[in-house]
Amino acid sequence: MANSTVRLSQKEQWRTILEGQKVHAKKEYSVNLKRRRKLLSQLKSMLMNHEEAWLEALRADLGKPSVEAYASELAVLYNEIDYVDKHLAKWMRPKRLTRLLPGGLEKVKIERQGYGTVLIISPWNYPLNLSLMPMIGAFAAGNSCFLKPSELARTTAQLLEELLSEYFTPEEVTVVQGDAFVAENLLKLPWDMIFFTGSKRVGTIVHQAAARHQIPIILELGGKNPCIVDATGVSPTTARRIVWGKFLNAGQTCIAPDTIYVHQSMYQPFLTMLREQIKLFYGMNPAKSSDYGRIAHPGHYNKLIGYLQEGTIWHGGRIDASQNYIEPTLLTDIPLNSELRQAEIFGPILPVIPYSDLDALMHQLEEGPDPLVTYMFSEDRTSIQQLKKTQRTGAISVNQVIRHAANPRIPFGGVGTSGFGRYHGQASIEAFSYEKVYYKEHSIFEMKNQYPPYRPHVLPILRKLRRWLF
């Protein structure tokens, strides 16, 4: 009974803060550009003033080396804030339309207005980046935020709560920590918008909750991202880029190359290139490398080691449950009915599969789940164009991995089973706001023929003049 009382009081507290955020967002919308830029500046200061603390938290949660943590979590946030701040005045500028009508003058102003208060539910794999990246867009568009960070990245979640409450008022940002029960109760509140990053399974639950209350939502889900390497794309550089993108954050990246499809004529040479790059990056024993991370939590570790049984370990395969450690691993001989061919791996296990016919491979991929990104390494323009035309995917990246998602100029998001909605840069302003239309007509004289009862001659006139009337 005591526990349920605490839970009830928490829900009432959240509701009170939420109502305050709604009032605040409406009031602050009229304060305009200066206020929004101040929030972005405070967010950047919070990151820069406590940089070492963020790096330590990410190391504690995921074993992230400092260079990797800075590049994939902090640097991308700095760049996003700088880019949005630089262009925000232009993006906020209202659109104005004026048109002469037969009976007068039509004036239209279209402004982007923030939804109000946004619930952000963030994941554990990039616990800082994926908590604050949507917050940047929400602030810039004129919203307040509730943040529910993942309980599986506890150190980062705790630091987010401490520092966000220090730099912002509850009406601007409130952090709520907790498990799935907490998230479930948060989803019952009347948010103006929800932004979720995580698994397809949980995303479905969040989507259903939002639909019950007609709440706009963006879903950023996982993706089983194929990486095609044709005969013209095989090189040590290709192997280097794939190994970096796959084993960054110990493979726990939603846009990591999930499975490699290599033309059979270059299959064995490319396997050797991949193995050599792994050794160059992490040494003969990656467990001792200061540049290689760990699996975030035991539940995910246990899931991943099950995948090691679904093929032949060509390289790697060593594990250590005490450290949630899985060595960078190359798998071959994957059966057609293997779960590994269907499920997103989200870890440091890389299936490498030969193919002989590109058309057949494209057809096979079309029948699978929609990827967040599809990669291709090739110098053959015909093959690249074929990929562009046939694949339904959130993005196509040719001869590079990961980097498109770090560019604030490029919209980021999935399609179908990998999610929907776009953010980053200007796309974030559009994601976290709606277009509000102000329409005014200055009439010189009234066109009485537009009103009933309609006379027989009105329809022929309407057909002739409709493009000038509407």
pLDDT at 28: 61
| Contact indicator for 401, 417 with CB cutoff of 8 Å | no
Domains in the chain (CATH in brackets) are: 2-221+422-433 (3.40.605.10), 226-413 (3.40.309.10)
* Rounded Cα distance, 219 and 203, in Å: 7
Of residues 351, 326, 343, the one with CA closest to residue 62: 326
pLDDT at 3: 38
DSSP per-residue string spanning 151-195: TTSHHHHHHHHHHHHHHS-TTTEEE----HHHHHHHTTS--SEEE
pLDDT at 8: 55
Confidence (pTM): 0.93
Length of the chain in residues, anyone?
470
220 assigned to active site: yes
254 assigned to active site: yes
Neighbours of 279 (CB within 10 A): 15
pLDDT tens per residue across all 470 residues of the chain: 333 333 557 888 898 999 999 888 877 655 588 999 999 999 999 999 999 999 999 999 999 999 999 999 999 999 999 999 999 999 999 999 998 877 788 899 999 999 999 999 999 999 999 999 999 999 999 999 999 999 999 999 999 999 999 999 999 999 999 998 999 999 999 999 999 999 999 999 999 999 999 999 999 998 899 999 999 999 999 999 999 999 999 999 999 999 999 999 999 999 999 999 999 999 999 999 999 999 999 999 999 999 999 999 999 999 999 999 999 999 999 998 898 988 899 999 999 999 999 999 999 999 888 999 999 999 999 999 999 999 999 999 999 999 999 999 999 999 999 999 999 999 999 999 999 999 998 888 777 777 888 888 888 888 887 777 66
Question: Is residue 453 reached through a cis peptide bond, with omega within 30 degrees of 0 on the bond before it?
Answer: yes
User: Which tokens hold the place of 144?
Assistant: 């307040």
Specify the 3-state DSSP secondary structure of 101.
Answer: strand
Catalytic residue among 68, 80, 220, 344: 220
Catalytic residue among 254, 310, 327, 430: 254
For residue 436, the number of C-alpha atoms closer than 13 Å in the C-beta half-sphere is 12
